[in-house]
Amino acid sequence: MHILGIETSCDETGVAIYDSNTNEIISEEIFSQAPKHSLYGGVVPELASRDQVAKLLPLVSITLQESGISHNEIDGIAFTKGPGLSGSLLVGATFARCLSIGWSKPCIGVHHMEAHLLVNLLEKKPPSFPFLTLLVSGGHSLLINALDICNYIVLGQTRDDAVGEAFDKVAKLLGLSYPGGPEIEKVAKFGNPNAFALPRPMANKNHLDFSFSGLKTAVLYIVKKEKKPTNKNFVSDLAASFQEAIAETLILKSKKALLETGLNQLVIGGGVAANQYIRERLQESLDDTEIFSPNLERCTDNGAMVAVAGYHRLKHSPITEDFIEVKPRWDLSEL
Ligand code: KG4
Ligand code: ZN
């Protein structure tokens, strides 16, 4: 089977074609609007949807051309139905439904976070259900007991800012550009992770929820106190201390969830999972747990994750989309 995947939930336009016989992506294109939004310090929804309109058709054409197959050989069109920015989502949903009518192929609406999770099945050594999943992106921080495709129990989630959002906001406080996660990771390499005593939010609570807004506020107070907040050493020390506080919080909560569920595999995904420091810290701290992570470029939003998720959805419960519908807010446990 060949599935065309279309990701337009935010400021990336991702298109890919998945071949289920080889479990490989045969062609893939991505366009990131990040440089445009960095001028405003964050994503401007109206600009994001306009760029999705401009980029989607050319990217689908190129991806199809590069795949070497014809549209007759596409067996389904998967798109991100939610959660995300409603304008951007609508562009992908409308385009996918129109293609599906034109080509007489099923149209599959995919949950963005399920796609971040299932992209791990593309790896040479994939995890096997059930497993614990830690999804950390710009909009979500989730701990999930993944029982099977379409069968997820949300064990914990953020009560305020998502991890990626905290990275982006702290980067702004430190005078770094958007998206903040990769920028913080870069400067943190030169800093001391123990330079500042920052809180590990909700780490000692009994539940598995997260909270990151207090951590961001703690950084804000330190920045306000500093006479030269642009000093290079100060910025890298604070970035490294912040990154370490995040890493330790994720480790503590994952450990607790592994203990409670009795699971011994941890799957990570979402943009923040691209952070090498956090990956290494998880690896060294959970040494009796098998950890699975996608390729770095498949952590942040991409079309491949939607194509793979679309394939598994179609195989598992062939519900196809007859109308153009998006779900900007959509709880994973509703699946
Ligand atoms: O999954 P994603 O591409 O989009 C959403 O679904 O939100 O995640 C984007 C988020 C941004 O907040 C970005 O700063 C963060 O992931 N991110 C990182 C890194 N790369 C991207 N955070 C920390 N370290 C990174 N290397
Ligand atoms: Zn995402």
The string of pLDDT tens digits covering residues 240-290 is 999 999 999 999 999 999 999 999 999 999 999 999 999 999 999 998 999
Predicted confidence (pLDDT) per residue in 150-206, tens digit: 899 999 999 999 999 999 999 999 999 999 999 999 999 999 999 999 999 998 899
Ligand 1 within 6 A of CB of 191:
no
**CA 59/CA 240 separation, integer angstroms:** 37
Is the whole model's pTM more than 0.75, yes or no? yes
Residue percentage of the chain with pLDDT more than 70: 100
Ligand 1 within 6 A of CB of 272:
yes
137 CA distance to ligand 1 middle (Å): 5
Number of the ligand closest to the Cα of 12: 1
**Which residue lies with its CA nearest to atom 19 of ligand 1?**
181
Residue percentage of the chain with pLDDT more than 90: 93
- Per-residue confidence band for 229, with pLDDT thresholds at 50, 70 and 90: confident
Give the pLDDT confidence score for residue 285 in this predicted structure.
98
- Average model confidence (pLDDT) for the chain? 96
- Per-residue confidence band for 58, with pLDDT thresholds at 50, 70 and 90: very high
Number of the ligand closest to the Cα of 32: 1
- Per-residue confidence band for 136, with pLDDT thresholds at 50, 70 and 90: very high
Ligand 1 within 6 A of CB of 127:
no
Give the pLDDT confidence score for residue 333 in this predicted structure.
86
190 CA distance to ligand 2 middle (Å): 28
Q: Backbone dihedral region of 68: left (phi > 0), alpha (psi from -120 to 50 degrees) or beta?
A: left
Are the beta carbons of 198 and 239 closer than 8 angstroms? no
Ligand 1 within 6 A of CB of 183:
no
**Residue 89 predicted with pLDDT over 90:** yes
**Residue 318 predicted with pLDDT over 90:** no
Between 130 and 203, the more confident residue is: 130
- Backbone φ and ψ of 290, nearest 5°: -80, 125
**CA 241/CA 322 separation, integer angstroms:** 49
